[in-house]
Structure 1
Amino acid sequence: MKVIYPGSFDPVTYGHLDIIDRCSKSFDKVIVAVLNNNYKKNMFSVEERLNLLRETLKEYDNVEVDAFSGLLVDYANKRNCSTIIRGLRAISDLEYEMQMSLVNKKLEEDLETLFMVSRGKYSYLSSSIVKEVAMFGGKISCFVPKVVERALKEKMNGGQD
């Protein structure tokens, strides 16, 4: 079974990686799909996010990293995949994710969304929190892999070390 785990991954965190790791053990193929959303202000470009994900996921034989823009249902059809994975950190995530799942189901009847609850130790973690902590010079090594930590520090220093 093939699944798509979509997101902005700006940047990828240990919470995302935990979901990907668990998916890789449960499904034959996991496509980590980076959303290219021109309406959202991201810290990292799509190419940078792809590179960070590829670097952190290189040990997984059944995980592919890709990018898409537009509707997720169109991307899923293009990739011949009928199952989407969405992570839930807290009950507050459920309302939005349910809404998106129902919209996707309305647009593509055969598209299923499976929700994976994050481990408790990651339930507070988001890319936004990581960026905020990094912006104020806080320790982020407990939230992201080294390669992401370096990339964030470089962004915060305007490309200067």
Structure 2
Amino acid sequence: MTIAIYPASFDPITLGHMDVAARAAAIFDTVILAVYDRPLKNLLFSTEERVALVREAVAHLPNVRVDTYDELTVEYARRVGAKVIIRGLRAVTDFENELKMAHINNRLYPEIETVCLMASQEYSFLSSSAVKEIAALGGTVDFMVAPHVARALRRAYGWEERA
């Protein structure tokens, strides 16, 4: 049984993340969306809120579960028995960063493999940062995130519900 982890801050989870998770679930026996508890980022949502949003987003995928971690990603992978780290790629710059990180992770944990899934064309422009910026300014993010995430963003930024 192959366990893969898909680590990210998921602040918030986007349709692009959900697409990568679904595609990974079709390849691996178990996929764990690992919500990083201590990223060096300004987070909009707490760890508990991010976990709840992610769980709802992937509830339809029976072999996907959600967890949190606050250690090196490779240490988390080792602890849960994962042999694969899933990463989504949107652009060449993503590839350069992910290649470096894959080499570092492999040096720290030689048994780990990094599998990169190319973003589906319709999601290649998505990032959590862009979603938050648009939502903060009152723009619609309905084409970038699941409905429950859009509602959470509107609440977080104090915007009233929109039809």
TM range (shorter): over 0.9
Match status 1:28 vs 2:29: yes
Which residue identity does 1:46 align to in structure 2? T
Question: Cα distance, 1:136 vs. partner?
Answer: 1.0
Q: CA deviation at 1:38?
A: 5.2
1:56 CA drift (Å): 1.4
> Retained in 1: the 8 A contact 2:9–2:39?
no
Amino acid paired to 2:14: T
Residue type matched to 1:65 in 2? V
SS of equivalent to 1:114 = strand
Deviation digits for residues 10-57 of structure 1 (CA, Å, limit 9, x no counterpart): 000000000011111111111000011153211111110000011111
TM-score of the aligned structures, taking structure 2 as reference length: 0.94
Aligned to 1:128: 129
Alignment of 1:10-29 (within 5 A): 10-29=11-30
Moved over 4 A (4+): none
The match for 2:97 is 96
SS in 1 for 2:26: helix
C-alpha separation in 1, matches of 2:114 and 2:61: 23
Where structure 1 has 5 or more consecutive residues not aligned to the other structure, the ranges are none
Aligned residue for 1:61? 62
Question: Does structure 1 conserve the Cα–Cα contact (< 8 Å) formed by 2:20 and 2:119?
Answer: yes
1:1-161 equivalences in 2 (<5 Å): 1-37=2-38, 39-157=40-158
Taking a change above 3 Å as real, the CA distance of residues 81 and 123 of structure 1, as seen in their structure-2 partners, is same
Classify the secondary structure of the residue corresponding to 1:26. coil
**Change beyond 3 A, Cα 1:15–1:38:** closer
Deviation at 1:111, TM superposition (A): 0.9
Aligned-pair identity (%): 42
Measured on the aligned residues, the alpha-carbon RMSD in Å equals 1.3
Partner amino acid, structure 2, of 1:144: V
TM-score, reference length from structure 1: 0.95
Displacement, 1:148?
A: 0.3
